[in-house]
Structure 1
Amino acid sequence: MSILTRFKDIMTSNMNALLDKAENPEKMIDQYLRNLNRDLGKVKAETASVMAEEQRAKRVLEESKADAEKMEKYAIKALEAGNEDDARKFLERKTQITEKQAELQQAYDLAESNAHQMRQMHDKLVSDINELEAKRRMLKAKWSVAKTQERINKIGSSVTDANNTAAGFGRMEDKVNRALDEANAMAELNKAPKDDIEDLASKYDKQVSVDDELARLKAKLNKE
């Protein structure tokens, strides 16, 4: 299948209809984009080649025009020097060059048209791939939600007694609460016993410090 044929099939097909037939839409979307990105690489290479051909045709045409102008300048110089025969030869060569320019111009026009078409094709393919990338994210998100809902539905269908389920959750909650209470009690028991003597000692340390300061002030007053 050619690049353009595959590209046309992708862009004109009904994506939702294709996904309905697919066992795994995610894989199918990824495969589409892998194919398109691979084709984009080929289109880029072909576009570069066509653009290079356009530049080559343009360069040949411009060189031909420059050669024709050069022959005319030589003819003028020959006439100024009084050499009419030389001038005639230069003009004959200019005529030969000019006759070929029509073909060169036609080749350049075709190359330019081809390059323009390839650039348009390349830009359209890039744009459409970006659009499909966005669509892929959306479809994959929907597919993920659908699969999650399907799992929930299967779980829900297996539950026949909502009261028993609620009671089961209640028992689990009680078990968790008991485990938490036991863990907190064990943590409390594991704490080292508090030694109050240090707090008591600090009280008297502060008192001694105040007494020392009072004695110092009294001694200062007596000296005065």
Structure 2
Amino acid sequence: MGILSRTSYVIRSKINAILNRSEDPGETLDYSYEKMRDELQQVKQGIADLTTQKKRLEIQKRRLEENVERHNEQAREAVNQDRDDLARQALEKKQSKMNQIEDLETQIANLQETQDSLVDKKNQLQNRIEEFRTKKETMKARYDAAEASTRVSEAMSGVGDEMADVGRALERAEDRTDEMEARSAAMDELADTGAFDDALSDKDSIDRELESGRSSREVDTELETLKADMGKGSPPETESDDGETADVESSDVDVADEDVEAELEELRNEDDA
């Protein structure tokens, strides 16, 4: 087999495979049925045309027969008038018309025979079409049932093209959902650690440590000032006449320490709240 022959064979094979996959048996059967009906209609039209031609010949035959009868009367009348010459002419015309009638009868007989044959073939074709129609409807019903059963089986097993697409779509949705959930959890974790604040700030870690120390010292200073304003600060030192410092009585110092601790505990509780 040459290259061109092989190429042609492969192309025809692929085209045939494509047609087989795209062919709908129901549509094919319906199309075949319509083609057969068209053929039957053509046969009926042929029979009608043939019958028309036969009728025309029969009409022409009747007219010739009428002429034959008229020529007979002409010949009789000519004989009565002793006009043999006219009688002969009438009889000659009669003979000519009879010959034409004979030819017409032969043609009519042939047409009748052809018509009878076509009618028989038409009846046979019509019977075949009716049988084909019954088989067609039966085959279509079987095909539809088989197709429905196949679709149900594919849907239940999940091997059909549509179900496979649904399965892939579900897998993609699950993967996307997992990705979004993981991303959301990561964002929450970064927010809790302050990573977003750090990312939005121009300060580095040293600046933040120093600022935290300054804030702590400012709080301590403000706390001491508050204690001093409320008279709950450290025990004041007094100087004696000779310039030496004298301590406040120990009992007063103990009371002041207890009050400071209580106030400090209240402040801590307020800050925690």
TM-score by length of 1: 0.55
Shift of 1:71: 0.9
Question: Which region of structure 1 is more displaced relative to structure 2, 25-34 or 76-85?
Answer: 76-85
Q: Once the 2 structures are TM-superposed, how far is the Cα of residue 154 of structure 1 from its aligned partner?
A: 2.2
CA distance in structure 1 between the aligned counterparts of 2:81 and 2:22, rounded to whole angstroms: 85
What residue number does 1:28 align with? 28
Identify the residue that residue 111 of structure 1 maps to in structure 2.
111
Aligned counterpart, 2:89 = 89
Structure 1: tracts of 5 or more residues without a match: 1-19, 160-224
- Aligned residue identity for 2:90: F
List structure 1 segments (4+ residues) > 6 angstroms apart after TM superposition.
none
User: Are 1:47 and 1:115, in contact at CA under 8 Å, matched by a contact in 2?
Assistant: yes
C-alpha RMSD over aligned residues: 2.5
1:22 offset after TM fit, Å?
A: 9.1
- Matched to 2:36, the amino acid is L
CA apart distance, 1:131: 2.2
Q: Which amino acid aligns with 1:47?
A: I
Task: Give the C-alpha shift of residue 93 in structure 1.
Answer: 1.0
1:125-184, CA deviations, whole angstroms, 9 ceiling, x for partnerless residues? 33322222222211111111111221233244359xxxxxxxxxxxxxxxxxxxxxxxxx
Cα 1:124–1:153 shift into 2, 3 Å: same
CA distance in 1, matches of 2:92, 2:140: 71
The C-alpha deviation readout for 1:166-219, integer Å capped at 9, x for no partner, is xxxxxxxxxxxxxxxxxxxxxxxxxxxxxxxxxxxxxxxxxxxxxxxxxxxxxx
Distance 2:57 2:95 in 1: 20
Give deviations 1:7-45, integer Å, cap 9, x for gaps: xxxxxxxxxxxxx99942212101101211222332232
Partner residue in 1 for 2:157? 157
What residue in structure 1 maps to residue 77 of structure 2?
A: 77
* Aligned equivalents of 1:21, 1:87: Cα separation in 2: 84
Instruction: Give the total of aligned pairs.
Output: 140
Aligned to 1:143: 143
Equivalent pairs: percent with the same residue? Answer: 20
Q: Is the 8 A contact 1:50 1:118 kept in 2?
A: no
Counterpart for residue 37 of structure 2:
37
Aligned to 1:61: 61
Cα deviation for residue 91 of structure 1 reads 0.7
- State the shift of 1:94 in Å: 0.9
Distance of aligned partners of 1:40 and 1:21 in 2 relative to their CA distance in 1, 3 Å threshold: farther
What is the CA-CA distance between 1:106 and the residue it aligns to? 1.5
Q: Is 1:131 the counterpart of 2:127 in the alignment?
A: no
Deviations 1:42-92 (A, max 9, x none): 223222111101111222222222221221122122223333222121111
Name the CA distance, whole Å, in 1 between partners of 2:51 and 2:121.
Answer: 13
SS for the counterpart of 1:36 is: helix
Which whole-Å CA distance do the structure 1 matches of 2:68 and 2:93 have between them? 8
Q: Please list every run of 5 or more consecutive structure 2 residues that lacks an aligned counterpart in the other structure.
A: 1-19, 160-273
What SS is found at the alignment partner of 1:74?
helix
Q: Secondary structure of 2:82's match?
A: coil
**Contact 1:68/1:97 (8 A) holds in 2:** yes
**Are 1:71 and 1:90, in contact at CA under 8 Å, matched by a contact in 2?**
yes
Name the structure with the higher helix share.
1
Bigger Rg, which one: 2
Q: Distance in 1 between matches of 2:145 and 2:105?
A: 60
Q: Distance in 1 between matches of 2:22 and 2:41?
A: 27
TM-score, structure 2 as length reference: 0.46
Q: Is the 8 A contact 1:57 1:111 kept in 2?
A: no
